[in-house]
Amino acid sequence: MAEVATWSYGVAAFAYLMFGAYIFFAWRGALPGGVLFGAVSLSALWAGLSAWAAASSSGLALLAAAVADVLRNGAWFAFLVVLARPLWGRVRWPERLALVTVLAQSVALVAELWADAETLPLRPVLAAWLGHAIVGLMLVEQLYRNVPKASRWGIKPLCLALAAGYTFELYLFADAFLFSRIDEDVWAVRGLAHALLIPLLALSGIRSPSWTLRMSLSREVVFHSTALAGAGLYLLVIAGAAYYVRYFGGDWGRALQLALLFAGLVLLGVLLFSGALRAKLRVLISKHLFTYRYDYRNEWLRFTQALASADKSLDLGQTVIKALSDLVESPGGALWLSDGRGGFAPHSRMNHPDIDAVEPVDSEFCRFMNERGWVIHLTEYIERPDRYEGMVLPSWLARLDEAWLVIPLQTPENLIGFVVLSSPRTAFEIDWEVLDLLKTAQRQAAGYLDRMLAAEALLEARKFDSFNRMSAFVVHDLKNLVAQLSLMLKNAERHRDNPEFQQDMLETVAHVEARMRGLMTQLQEKRSIDPPRAVELVGVLRSVCERRRNQHPQPTLNVDAGARFQVSAHPERLERIIGHVVQNALDATPDDGKVSLSAERIAGGRVRVVVEDTGCGMSPDFVRERLSRPFETTKASGMGIGVFETRQYLEELGGSLRYDSEPGRGTRVTIELPELHRDSAHS
């Protein structure tokens, strides 16, 4: 078996050496890629030294191979720890167990070298290597279990390869530990067994961009390797049939064996070198064994089941992405849905990098999808743009390297969104059957998503209904307050002691009483209590700051002396929403912080108001997904409608509201309003 072992470990050394060179040139500096390169390099060293030991039976070679084996085991443990450490959180026992296992192997090896056989037999060394196999399986299991289900696609080949390798090691050293000797046959093929795992390791490297390895397989390699595997299987079948004929065919056995082998080789040659024959064979099989490329009944049932039984770890958007991607062997993608403000914004993603690109509903790209309803094949668009006449590809989509298909989501009424699928796991031909299947599937997916959006709108409507019912109780309380203030006014008019003081009190109370009646009327009739009119914006800003002059920090107003900006609005309501923005800034800012207001005229006949603070700030996800939604609040006593009302009212006036915030750096709120010209104000 020495010759077999030499060839086995020699092949493994060559395979690991080539794989290591490939990783070296594909590595872009990330830690996982560097540790993988180290593990593969040490594996090549171990296989080479083992081949030397098998060929020479030298004690020095055996020692060097054993030391390299310990280093190789430690490197692969380190690779598993680097991949899994971000997933473990504060749990550190797996990496400590891996370190103890490698140290135990080292101690057992040193003890075996320096002690005689009677004092320390081989069993402790075998036990250490057996423990290494068990701990390796545990680390692989921990890695696979802690990776989110949506991301296991990339790590699965690696886990299969390492689990298979550690299982082989477990069998080899468990048998050796039981019988106190190593099975030479199993040890001889050990190198070849580990070399067979390299394709799975390479596949995980291709699927995992976080390792920063630019690895890829060309279509030619995939095709020829598949053809070679098929040819090998074909020869095995022919050889088996020939041996059967030889041993059970009587006097004609050997002659029939030779004839069958020759016929098999000729047929194989014809299949390999005749493209026309292969094409005819494919057509023959497609026509007589399959009616269509797909069994549409099964595909439709599977797609419906995927949408109906959504995984608890995936939201409905991710479920739609997964159901569509599974039809075309894509690993995932991203979903854009209407944001309700004239654009399509990212809603969900699966195995896809985070992206923050909003596509306007009226863009040429969306208009093309809405009018044509085509599934856009981006590779075809690059090669044959004339087929997509009238379509303009957005710049953000052109920058997505993995973007492959764009599937519009259409209801009978309109376009509600679209899905961008990533490049498939393997070469996948897009023909008319695939396009028809995707078009049919997207209609059902659009129906599911449309119902989801309708359900969310209904939920918000119910929340507003509850708010309106609550407002009825507020109106009832306001009636009592108005009655009390009216009685106070009557008594105050009859009992004046200090004329100036009493007059000021009367004016203040009369104003409050009038505003309460106006607010009660507004709540009851659901209309504005007065029409919009010309409002001096700087005066409103000064009033907002003046009302909060006793708070800390005190807000400051920065405007040019004599600046005047007139806008068309309801004075009290405009002051209330700007005051709400300022109050939010004060609540989020410590006493030693800063809150400032400024106003300036900008292009387009508009006025810009900026409220800036140095408070705690907000995360981009909160600003994008929760800030403007009604009844979403982080305050214990808040109702969550302030920002929603502010945005609604500003848009009603033709203005806009924008939040720019960063945690720990503060928030900048920009309000833009159309300026009212003097001639319009007088008219």
Report how far residue 601's alpha carbon sits from residue 396's, in angstroms, rounded to the nearest whole number: 32
State which amino acid sits at residue 336.
W
CB neighbours of 562 closer than 8 A, spacing ≥ 6? none
The domain spans of the chain are 2-216, 222-289, 299-453, 533-682
- Average pLDDT over the chain reads 77
CATH topology of domain 299-453: Beta-Lactamase (3.30.450)
> How many residues appear in the chain?
683
Give the model confidence (pLDDT) of 9-32 as tens digits. 899 899 999 988 888 887 777 888
Residues of the chain with pLDDT > 70, as a percent, come to 68
Report how far residue 643's alpha carbon sits from residue 467's, in angstroms, rounded to the nearest whole number: 16
3-state secondary structure 37-90: HHHHHHHHHHHHHHHHHHHHCCHHHHHHHHHHHHHHHHHHHHHHHHHHHHHHCC
Q: Pull the structure tokens for residue 53.
A: 């030991």
Same fold, 299-453 and 533-682: no
Q: Tell me the HSE value of 292 on the side-chain side, using a 13 A CA sphere.
A: 12
State which amino acid sits at residue 680.
S
Report how far residue 397's alpha carbon sits from residue 401's, in angstroms, rounded to the nearest whole number: 9
Q: Pull the structure tokens for residue 256.
A: 């029939």
* C-alpha distances in Å from residue 176, one per residue of 182, 190, 448, 509: 5, 14, 59, 97
Angle between helices 31-56 and 2-26 (to 10 degrees): 160
Strands of the sheet with 656-662, listed across from one edge: 556-558, 595-602, 606-613, 666-674, 656-662
Q: Confirm if 468 and 499 have CB atoms less than 8 A apart.
A: no
H-helix segments, 290-431: 296-308, 316-327, 364-372, 378-383, 395-398
Report how far residue 267's alpha carbon sits from residue 273's, in angstroms, rounded to the nearest whole number: 10
**What is the reported pLDDT for 290?**
47
* C-alpha distances in Å from residue 45, one per residue of 12, 14, 37, 68, 165: 10, 10, 12, 7, 17
Q: Confirm if 161 and 201 have CB atoms less than 8 A apart.
A: yes
Q: Return the closest-CA partner of residue 669 out of 659, 679, 678.
A: 659
Which residue is listed with tokens 């019912």?
Answer: 469
Q: What angle do CA 170, 175, 179 make, to 5 degrees?
A: 150
Maximum Cα–Cα distance across the chain: 139
Q: Confirm if 607 and 567 have CB atoms less than 8 A apart.
A: yes
CB neighbours of 311 closer than 8 A, spacing ≥ 6? 149, 319
Regions in the chain scoring below 50 on pLDDT: 116-120, 217-226, 279, 283, 285-291, 473, 476-477, 480, 528-529, 636-639, 682-683
Q: Confirm if 101 and 69 have CB atoms less than 8 A apart.
A: no
Give the model confidence (pLDDT) of 34-86 as tens digits. 888 899 999 999 999 998 988 887 778 888 888 999 999 889 888 888 888 77
Q: Tell me the HSE value of 481 on the side-chain side, using a 13 A CA sphere.
A: 16
Q: Confirm if 261 and 239 have CB atoms less than 8 A apart.
A: yes
* C-alpha distances in Å from residue 377, one per residue of 382, 388, 443, 592, 676: 9, 10, 18, 57, 49
Give the model confidence (pLDDT) of 574-626 as tens digits. 887 888 888 889 888 998 899 999 999 988 889 999 999 999 888 887 887 77
- What are φ and ψ of residue 601, in 5° steps? -90, 135
CB neighbours of 47 closer than 8 A, spacing ≥ 6? 9, 10, 12, 13, 16, 191, 194, 195
Rg, the chain, Cα only: 37
Is 533-682 a domain of CATH 3.30.565.10? yes
* C-alpha distances in Å from residue 281, one per residue of 1, 288, 410, 420: 45, 11, 39, 35
State which amino acid sits at residue 548.
R
**What is the reported pLDDT for 612?**
93
Beta bridge partners of 602: 606
Q: Confirm if 568 and 676 have CB atoms less than 8 A apart.
A: yes
